[in-house]
Amino acid sequence: MSMAIRLPAEWEPQDGVLLAWPHGATDWADQLPEVRRVYADLITAISRFEKVLLTTPDPDEARSWLLQAGVPTERVIFAAAPTNDTWTRDCGPVTVQVNQQPVLLDFGFNGWGLKFAADQDNQLTRRLKAQGLLIPRLNTIGLILEGGSIESDGAGTILTTSGCLLSPNRNPQLDRHELEGALQSLLGARRVHWLEHGQLAGDDTDAHIDTLARLCPDNTLLYTVCDDPGDEHYQPLNRMAAELQGLRDQTGRPYRLLPLPLPAPCLNHAGHRLPATYANFLVINGAVLVPTYGQPTDNGALAMIGLAFPGREVIGIDCLPLIEQHGSLHCITMQLPAGVLP
Q: Is residue 103 part of a domain?
A: yes
Does residue 91 carry a catalytic annotation? no
Q: Is residue 165 part of a domain?
A: yes
Looking at this protein, which amino acid is placed at residue 242?
A: A
pLDDT digits (tens, 9 = 90+) for 186-195: 999 999 999 9
Task: Write the DSSP assignment of 74-103 as a string of letters.
Answer: TTEEEEE---S-S-HHHHSPEEEEETTEEE
Give the pLDDT confidence score for residue 2 in this predicted structure.
Answer: 62
CA distance 260 to 220: 13
pLDDT digits (tens, 9 = 90+) for 229-255: 999 999 999 999 999 999 999 899 999
**Structural domain count, the chain:** 1
Looking at this protein, which amino acid is placed at residue 61?
A: E
Q: Is residue 342 part of a domain?
A: no
Looking at this protein, which amino acid is placed at residue 270?
A: A
Helical H segments across the chain, by residue range? 32-47, 59-68, 88-91, 111-114, 124-130, 162-165, 176-187, 234-246, 297-308, 320-323
Residue 222 pLDDT greater than 60, yes or no: yes
The mean pLDDT value of the chain amounts to 97
Q: Give the domain range for residue 88.
A: 5-337
- For residue 299, the SS3 value is helix
CATH number of domain containing 22: 3.75.10.10
Give the pLDDT confidence score for residue 3 in this predicted structure.
Answer: 78
Q: Is residue 145 part of a domain?
A: yes
Is residue 241 left, alpha or beta, with left meaning phi > 0 and alpha meaning psi from -120 to 50? Answer: alpha
Number of neighbouring beta carbons within 10 Å of residue 212: 28
Give the pLDDT confidence score for residue 125 in this predicted structure.
Answer: 98
Specify the DSSP element, H or E, that contains 260. Answer: strand 256-261
Q: Is residue 11 part of a domain?
A: yes
Q: Is residue 51 part of a domain?
A: yes
Give the pLDDT confidence score for residue 206 in this predicted structure.
Answer: 97
pLDDT digits (tens, 9 = 90+) for 88-137: 999 999 999 999 999 999 999 999 999 999 999 999 999 999 999 999 99
Provide mean pLDDT across the span 19-33: 96
Q: Is residue 134 part of a domain?
A: yes
pLDDT digits (tens, 9 = 90+) for 145-186: 999 999 999 999 999 999 999 999 999 999 999 999 999 999
pLDDT band at 278 (very low <50, low <70, confident <90, very high): very high
Whether 316 contacts 298, CB under 8 Å: yes
Is residue 138 left, alpha or beta, with left meaning phi > 0 and alpha meaning psi from -120 to 50? Answer: beta
Give the pLDDT confidence score for residue 313 in this predicted structure.
Answer: 98
Those residues whose C-beta lies under 8 Å from the C-beta of residue 337, and which sit 6 or more positions away, are 8, 12, 13, 14, 15, 95, 97, 102
Q: Is residue 247 part of a domain?
A: yes
Residue 61 pLDDT greater than 80, yes or no: yes
Number of neighbouring beta carbons within 10 Å of residue 74: 6
